[in-house]
Amino acid sequence: MNITPDMKMADVLFHNYTLLPVVSRFNIKLGFGDKTVSEVCRNSDVNLDFFLEITNSYVDEDYIPQKELNTFPVSLIVQYLKKTHQYYLEEKIPEIERNIQRVLDAEKTINDKFSLVENFFTEYKQELTNHINREEANVHPYVLEIEAAAIKNEINKSLHSKIRKYSINDFASEHDNVEEKLFDLKNIIIKYLPPCNSSGLCNSILIELFRLEKDLNAHANLEDKVLIPKVAAMEEKLLALYKA
């Protein structure tokens, strides 16, 4: 069932609780009463169409965008991507780390084995942090610059050489998959670690890993399938303009 403007926001969340963190990313706070999706968005200063596209594609992998996601400004997409990064680094990762630590404290007998999980996750955290830092330090400012130039329909020499030196497609080809390691980690915990007595804790670690993986997938889709093609098209236009 697609999420539409006149549905009640509360109902949307009753049906798809996985959207909770997504809704928070839009700075929308709980306590909706009977307000509809469109009312809540209006009150919270959220672009309704963007909200609908993001939430619908989040809950339904086969969702076919109603509005070309490409019509949204790059700045809006970047803002959302940043919020998501923040959610990973400030909420999700620390939460999983805490639970890993709790298992380590509780499971003295398989401690040495479980500390492999800890190391693995620390390594993963570093990888994810690097991935995100690189996007925020280089890619985001670059795509915003491209968009500003495309709006003004103007390209100067320095931007031209920037595009020549490192275009969005160069980024696309280097954009690595940060979900793979998570998949392996789940597999190791489910299949290969010795039985863990704190099964409640292990389960919550696994559930968080499943959620994080799903979220990262949606995030990467937004980067790879929406942002990159959109910026690539702008670059192409700007390069043509420079030639002329």
Partner 1 sequence: MERIKFVIIEKSYLIRKGIASIINRIEHATVVKELENLDEINSALLKYTPDFIVVNIGILSDIDTFRNTEIKADLSQTGIGIASGNSAEKEKKHGLREIISTLDERDDIYNKLQSLIREKVDSRHKLSQQTELSEREKTILKHVAKGLTNKEIAEKLFLSAHTVITHRKNITNKLGIKTISGLTVYAILNNIISIGDLE
Q: Which residues make up the interface to partner 1 (CB under 8 A)?
A: 62, 113, 116-117, 120, 123-124, 169, 173, 180-181, 183-185, 187-188, 191-194
Cβ proximity to Fe ion: between 85 and 234 the closer is 85
Q: Considering beta carbons, is residue 147 or 215 the nearer one to Fe ion?
A: 215
What residues form DSSP beta bridges with 8?
36
Instruction: Answer yes or no: are the C-beta atoms of 36 and 6 closer than 8 Å.
Output: yes
* Least Cβ distance, residue 190 to partner 1 (angstroms): 10
Instruction: Output 41 or 182, the one with its CB closest to Fe ion.
Output: 182
Residue 90 or 184 having the CB closest to partner 1: 184
Q: How far is the CB of 39 from partner 1 (least distance, A)?
A: 34
When CB distances are held under 5 to 8 angstroms depending on the partner's kind, the choice from partner 1, Fe ion, none that residue 236 binds is none
SS (H, E, C) 131-192: HHHHHHHHHHHHHHHHHHHHHHCCCCHHHHHHHHHCCHHHHHHHCCCCCHHHHHHHHHHHHH
Gyration radius of the chain's alpha carbons: 21
Minimum distance from residue 176 beta carbon to Fe ion (Å): 8
Residue 79 vs 221, nearer CB to partner 1: 221
* Pick from 223, 103, 242: nearest CA to 172: 223
- Rule CB under 5 A: which of 21-60 touch Fe ion? none
Nearest to 16 by CA among 57, 65, 71: 57
Bridge partners (DSSP) listed for residue 36: 8
Residue 90, contacted partner among partner 1, Fe ion, none, CB below 5-8 A by kind:
none
**Under rule CB under 5 A, which residues in 208-227 are in contact with Fe ion?**
223
